[in-house]
Copies of this chain bind each other. A is one copy, B any other.
Amino acid sequence: MGPCPLLPHQVVIIGGGFGGLCAAQALAGLPVKVTLIDKRNFHLFQPLLYQVATGLLCPSEVATPLRHVLKHQKNVEVLLGEAVDIDTAGRRVMLADGEVPYDTLILSAGMVTHYYDHDEWEKYAPGLKTLEDTVRIRQRIFTAYEVAERERDPEKRKEWQTFVVIGSGATGIELSGMISEIAHNTLKGEFRSIRPEASRIILLDAADRILPTYPEALSKITEKALNRLGVETRLHTKVVDIDAQGVTVEAPQGRERIPARTIVWASGVKASPLARIIAEKTRAETDGTGRVVVNPDLTLAGNSNIFVIGDMAHVKSKKGTPLPGLAPAATQQGRYVAKAIKDRLAGHEQMGSFSYFDKGTMAVIGRNAAVADIGGWHFGGFLAWLTWLFIHLVLLVQFQNKVIVLIRWAFQYFSYNRGARNIMLKGKLKLPLSGKDSL
């Protein structure tokens, strides 16, 4: 069952992240009908999620309506829907509430937070992958100080003023750096019974250095900078249990209990459930994080009409190691796939394999401090921070947001204030908040 000669070639893209959105845009002007399906109505600018989770930006500033971005591209339709299965034989994407036929399928559903064998930790230690996560984390951080202000028991107060970030990748250091700034700068002087600057911010990792995937030199720079900001870094420290009152860890000096009421999980992600589904249907391999191992041309063996791109794809780099789950990799893959579809429509079946142009990686530690690994050039400090600032501002999809985000950054830089702190609840207020109260 090939494409019907009367209908245009139907390309279905699942996921409006960097890979999916880029593919849709790169298909502009081609004689194909593109259907972009996402379970949210926005493109999420994930690199700035941590700034929303810490009250610096508001959610909509990192969430650009997909239909607005693609408004003028008439060969694209955007559908709000959640893909639950793929009928590779019938060439249909099954939604929770419908189905969409495809000739060519582009899977770019990204990754979700991964708790390994401890999904029960999720309610105590939310991850930071979705816009909903940012609201949950933000509510917990700012509510913790409200509870501490009213708490009379000094021990419990300490617990409410202890923040544990698990995982020292880019997200972990960005979050811990920001939480430290909230404690030492944003909230300073706003309370009467507690001293926010007396808070403990602990960054845990089982690895032997922070930013394990970065060059070792940068790990050292980053750790020093975090410590200067007041973040305690604990390496070789494995989390063995998490509950509402704290974290239990296995450290070189033995087992230890860290009482803490606010815990964030930044240490694990796995491919979207769709990865497993498509792998089973096509007998493709998946790697340790559930990513689908794809051909050099990003297709699946025996299914040249199915592409898997972005974070959910395991693409081998020249060195044989899988490509990192970064926006540039996803966008490059999106453009590559669009080009491949164009070539095929033109009758050129043979495609060169995808090759990744490494633009490097960056992480922000705090104001004036970041680390960068660009083209083998490793540097940190203010210059890296400026570079980060510039790149991320340029990358923000929507023009309006760029200006507003810049202004927020400018205000915050000088005032240390954070506007987006509003705690929103569903039911009556009863402290401490339980998971269900929180919006």
* A419-B142 contact in complex given A80-B429, A189-B71, C-beta closer than 8 Å: no
Distance from A420 Cβ to chain B, minimum over Cβ atoms (Å) = 4
Residues in A411-439 with C-beta less than 8 Å from chain B: 411, 415, 417, 419-426, 428-431, 439
Q: Does A256 contact B (CB under 8 A)?
A: no
Which residue in chain B gives the minimum CB-CB distance to A436?
A: B426
Q: Does the CB pair B407–A404 fall under 8 Å?
A: yes
**Is A59 within 8 A of B422, CB to CB?**
yes
Residue A42, interface by CB 8 Å: yes
Assuming A150-B81, A400-B415, A423-B41, is B96 touching A429 (CB within 8 A)? yes
In this complex, the interface size class of chain A, counting residues with CB under 8 Å from chain B, is 35 or more
Give CA–CA (A21, B60) in the complex, Å.
Answer: 28
- Inter-chain contact B426/A67, CB cutoff 8 Å: no
Interface with B: A102-110, A167-175, A190-198, which one? A190-198
CB <8 Å contact, A424 and B98: no
A232 interface residue, CB < 8 Å from B? no
Within 8 A of B (CB), among A203-244: none
Is A351 in contact with chain B by the CB < 8 A criterion?
no
Is the pair A417, B68 in contact by a Cβ cutoff of 8 Å?
yes
A97 interface hit (Cβ, 8 Å):
yes
Compute how far the CA of A217 lies from the CA of B153 in the bound complex, rounded to whole angstroms. 61
Contact of A398 among B419, B423, B428 (CB under 8 A): B419
| Residue from B81, B82, B142, B189 in contact with A41 in the complex, judged by beta carbons closer than 8 Å | B142
A271 close to chain B: CB less than 8 A: no
Task: Let me know if B400 and A417 touch, CB within 8 A.
Answer: yes
| CB pair B82 A424 closer than 8 Å | no
Whether A135 is near chain B, meaning CB under 8 Å from some CB there, is: yes
Given the interface contacts A97-B431, A135-B424, A420-B60, does A79 sit within 8 Å of B398 by beta carbon?
Answer: no
- Is the Cβ of A61 less than 8 Å from the Cβ of B59? no
Across the interface, which residues of B come within 8 angstroms of A41, CB to CB?
142, 146, 421-423
Q: A53 to chain B: closest CB distance in Å? A: 13
B-facing mask of A66-108, CB < 8 A → 1, else 0?
0110011000011111100000000000001110000000000
Contact code string A115-153 (vs B, CB < 8 Å = 1, else 0): 000000000000000011001000000110011011000
Is A421's CB under 8 angstroms from B98's CB? no
CB neighbours of A190 from chain B (8 A): 65, 67-68, 71, 78
- B42, B82, B419, B428: the one within 8 Å of A82 (CB): B428
Is A184 among interface residues, defined by CB-CB distance under 8 A? no
Q: Choose from B60, B96, B98, B400 the contact partner of A422 (Cβ within 8 Å).
A: B60
With contacts A400-B408, A404-B404 taken as known, whether A77 is within 8 angstroms of B193 at the C-beta atoms is yes
* Known contacts A67-B191, A97-B430, A428-B82; A411/B422 CB under 8 A: no
Counting CB contacts under 8 A, is A156 at the interface?
no
**Contact of A419 with B401 in the complex, beta carbons under 8 Å:** yes
Contact of A132 among B59, B81, B439 (CB under 8 A): B439
Nearest Cβ on chain B to A325's Cβ, whole angstroms: 23
A283 on the B face (CB < 8 A): no
Contacts of A423 in B (CB 8 A): 40-42, 80
Question: Distance (Å) between the CB of A123 and the closest chain B CB?
Answer: 12
Q: How far is the CB of A408 from chain B (nearest CB, A)?
A: 7
Cα A439 to Cα B436 with chains together (Å): 11
Q: Chain B residues with Cβ under 8 A from A408's Cβ? A: 400, 404
The minimal Cβ–Cβ distance linking A95 to chain B, given in whole angstroms, is 9
Cross-chain pairs A/B with CB under 8 angstroms, 19 sampled = A58-B61, A60-B419, A65-B422, A67-B187, A67-B190, A68-B190, A72-B189, A78-B190, A79-B150, A80-B423, A82-B429, A82-B430, A96-B430, A98-B150, A131-B422, A132-B425, A400-B411, A400-B419, A404-B419
Q: A80-B147, A81-B150 are in contact. List 17 more A-B contacts (CB 8 A).
A: A40-B423, A41-B423, A60-B420, A60-B421, A67-B190, A68-B421, A72-B189, A77-B193, A80-B146, A80-B431, A82-B428, A96-B428, A97-B431, A398-B419, A400-B419, A404-B404, A404-B419
